[in-house]
Chains A and B, each alone.
Chain A
Amino acid sequence: MDKPFAITLGAGSSHANKTGAWRTERPVYVDRLPPCNHACPAGENIQHWLSLAEEPSYEAAWRQIMLDNPFPAVMGRVCYRPCESACNRGQLDEAVGINSVERFLGDQAIEHGWTVPVTAQPSGKRVLVVGAGPAGLSAAYHLTLLGHAVTVIDSGSAPGGMMRFGIPRYRLPRHVLDAEIQRILDMGVTLELGRTVTDLAEAMRGFDAAFLAVGAHIGRRAYLPAGDSARILDAVSVLRDVADGPAPLLGRRVVVYDGGNTAMDAARTAKRLGAADAVVVYRRTRDRMPAHDSEVAEASEEGVRMKWLSTIAHADGERVVIERMRLDETGFPQPTGEFEELAADSVVLALGQEADLSLLAGLPGIKVEGGIVKVGPGMMTGCPGVFAGGDMVPAERTVTVAVGHGKKAARHIDAWLRGGAHRPPPRHPMAGFDLLNTWYYSDAPATVRPKLDLARRMSTFDEVEGGLEESTALFEARRCLSCGNCFECDNCYGVCPDNAVLKLGPGLRYEIDLDFCKGCGLCVSECPAGAIEMVPEVT
């Protein structure tokens, strides 16, 4: 060390001065769980498939969806979009139109005939799936991908379950449903239609496991004082008959009772069948209505009338008597003793559905509570090897939830068949809105989907909501904030005053050069997505 006084380094670059020694905290790249992914009942990695769609790489995006959900085009039409309710962008301007992009990708796949290859080695195991609805078909799809031989049995005349016999055509055109189901069948799934399983133990002969997804398609009845001439139907039967058989005669004035999604479907269907007046009668107020807002809004646009705070006291001939209700302090509706009359050719009851569980008779270990089957965290019933999902188990009754059940059950069935237990990977911590630096995102209002004009909506079963064109779908995908996940915007690389962020190349993200990082945290503050965090140095 023969340096001049006060000189510590030889002539040359400052690179010899390792300023990383100053650091008390270090930045660490993380992946957080975006709220959309967290909210998705089917467990889709939405943030990731949106990022692929943004490139634009539509087929790769579609394949990413297909890892979790075999029905993108159906989802893009009937899903109630919990992802969009959770979307952080909703706090900035409007939520990303995730569902619109999913529909666009699903339609692209149908148009281009994209398929998913089965690459797994055959396991030699056979799995019976009872019910060809969303849960059953989803399970069949995932089990097939995992190498198992799957047979699906359904009592209906065509596969799809509630997607076909419950959801009206104007929300889900049949060619879309058919295409996505056919794609699953083409993977080698055996389908037996028109066969009702009455004795599961018998039907399971030759199978190593079973997944039950018989749904809930028996309309719940309520005692309704009615004269002999009153025409009272249940909504599920009405919807089924419209889908598969001679359309039911409802008349010109139709009263629908209760306020769920099925009630909206029934009222809108009645309009399309020629009813001049369709009235939904509901005991509580609109904000308490279980139907989703979009369905209530679309029904109202089509001229469906809503009678809030009302119940049907009596039905007879061509009239029903309505009693006005009021909500007490607990929010429970109480009768008021005030009555009025409505003209009605028919009354459609949409009081919810129950599952037909008679096939379970004699099966040991199965617990049924309140008309639904109890399952464990792995979707297995009390009977080993018998799993269940969809509307027949306790959960919200939507197509997306059912598809999620199918996937989850398939993974647990696979593990069970291989003598192990399925352990889902640990979840990342949430990417909340407060972790984002929204300054960096462009201002961009949401794209609105086109809607069929009202006259055609009220007279035909044509699809109400249109899809997005490619340019608008791409725009919508690019509204994604990529919450909690690096999208390679180069901000960290740019804002470091010490050049201590190394750029590793497309797709490879970045690395901190700890020789020089002083731990200022600018990269963390200026990361738009909240994908870096400061961690104290251990001394």
Chain B
Amino acid sequence: MPAPRTKFYQVGSFAVGNRLLPPEQRAVQAAPDRGNALTSGHRACRGCGEALGARYAIDAAIRATGGRMIAVNATGCLEVFSTPYPETAWQVSWIHSLFGNAPAVATGVAAALKAKGRTDVRVVGQGGDGGTVDIGFACLSGMFERGDDVLYICYDNQAYMNTGVQRSGATPPAARTATTPVPGGNAFGQGKNAPLIAMAHEIPYVATATVADLRDLEYKVRRAMDFRGARYLHILVPCPLGWVTDACDTIRVARLATESGLFPVFEAEGGEVTGVTRIRRRIPVDDYLRLQSRYAHLFADPPRTDVIARIQASADRNIRRFGLVD
């Protein structure tokens, strides 16, 4: 089941709040007393999708756990821009160790809490796509396999942005990065689909979300907290720096990623897909790609219509595979 939608009140549940709805039916982000887990003064770029996604997710986790939670952070943008010693933007219990060991540290925190009999305190591990699908992948898979009581959140911005936009295992085909320069950009046929790999572990809950659909994202964090054991949430967080988009287009580009079918939004329990968010206004992948200068070489003279067609084919495959269109 995707996030329940409010029937009709002007903006329904598409917008963050809604003056016509009772407060408990508005998003966590609409609350004047929301957690603001990641507060002002952090050094993320203008229009950072990851800063936004992290606040959305952790504020929802704070709401779901009544504030009894500990966040474990991998190295990456999120750690660097939020916590340049001795200052921090986190307003939640938070620990950072290394780039590749966040799932293992989260496992350890959960084990310690269990030993102390404090199973009321929940653990959230979090990192970027590099720390998750590349460097920390063995630790993550082990955490899944052991069934440790951790919700692990990957903020996917599709490259190593902090160190200067190098290719990661989550970089999509044809995208230009510092290590996959034009004319070709990133090669096809590589990259990891971490949500599907997580599902293959048959853990209780796996879901995807984007910063373009706040209600859905908050619902998935809340839903994940209904389960015990290893859970995985994969959030698409556009990066204005690495994707070469305008700072004001971060949410728009995430919306186009889902409306084109390139980023399917779904949830799965025990390895089975149980709900998908259907495409509301379907668009060709062109509309999504053109907004990002990391794909500018596809629209140069001559345009790479063959490459665009292959990207469109992968979007169409997602649409068929997940039933994204009614």
Residue positions of A touching B, CB distance < 8 A: 7, 9-19, 22, 54-55, 439-442, 444, 475, 478-480, 482, 487-491, 493-500, 503, 505-506, 513, 515-516, 518-522, 524-526, 528, 534
Contact = CB atoms under 8 A, between A and B. Distances in A.
Given A498-B51, A506-B19, A520-B247, A441 B11 contact: yes
Contacts of A479: 10
B87 A16 contact: yes
A7 B44 contact: no
B88 interface: yes
Contact of B40 (A54, A500, A519): A500
Contacts of B187: none
Given A14-B42, A15-B40, A16-B41, 11 more contacts: A7-B85, A16-B87, A54-B20, A439-B14, A488-B17, A490-B15, A495-B16, A497-B44, A497-B47, A499-B38, A518-B46
Nearest to A479: B10
- A-B complex: 10 closest residue pairs judged by Cβ atoms: A490-B17, A494-B16, A14-B41, A521-B248, A520-B47, A442-B12, A11-B86, A14-B89, A489-B15, A520-B247
A488 B42 CA distance: 26
27 contacts: A9-B87, A13-B39, A13-B41, A13-B89, A14-B82, A17-B42, A17-B87, A22-B46, A54-B10, A440-B11, A441-B10, A442-B10, A442-B12, A478-B8, A478-B20, A479-B10, A489-B17, A491-B17, A493-B30, A497-B44, A497-B51, A497-B55, A513-B40, A520-B240, A522-B248, A525-B248, A528-B11
B252 A525 contact: yes
Contacts of A526: 251-252
Contacts of B248: 520-522, 524-525, 534
Nearest to A12: B87
A14 B88 contact: yes
A490 B30 contact: yes
Interface string B1-32: 00000001111101111111000001101101
B87 A11 contact: yes
A489 B52 CA distance: 18
A230 B148 CA distance: 99
Nearest to B88: A14
Nearest to B247: A520
B95 interface: no
Contacts of A522: 47, 52, 247-248, 250-251
Max chain A C-beta neighbours (<10 A), residue from B11, B49, B88: B11
A505 B32 contact: yes
B40 A520 contact: no
A119 B12 CA distance: 40
Interface of B: 8-12, 14-20, 26-27, 29-30, 32, 36, 38-44, 46-49, 51-52, 55, 82, 85-89, 91, 214, 240, 246-252, 255, 281
Contacts of B30: 490, 493-494
A439 B255 CA distance: 10
Nearest to B237: A497
A7 B86 contact: yes
Contacts of A9: 86-87
Contacts of B47: 497, 518, 520-522
A491 B12 CA distance: 13
B29 A490 contact: yes
B48 A497 contact: yes
B310 to A, nearest CB: 28
Contacts of B15: 440, 489-491, 494, 528
Contacts of B85: 7
Contacts of B18: 489-490
Contacts of A19: 40-43
Contacts of A489: 10-11, 15-19
B9 A519 contact: no
Contact of A519 (B46, B250, B252): B46
Contacts of A10: 86-87
Q: Report which residue of A482, A518, A520 has the largest number of chain B beta carbons within 10 angstroms of its beta carbon.
A: A520
B87 A14 contact: yes
Contacts of A493: 16-17, 29-30
Nearest to A17: B41
A28 B16 CA distance: 19
A526 B246 CA distance: 13
A375 B89 CA distance: 66
A408 B14 CA distance: 41
B27 A494 contact: yes
A10 B49 CA distance: 28
A482 B14 CA distance: 15
A13 B29 CA distance: 21
A315 B264 CA distance: 73
A14 B37 CA distance: 12
Contacts of B86: 7, 9-12
A447 to B, nearest CB: 11
Nearest to B89: A14
B27 A498 contact: no
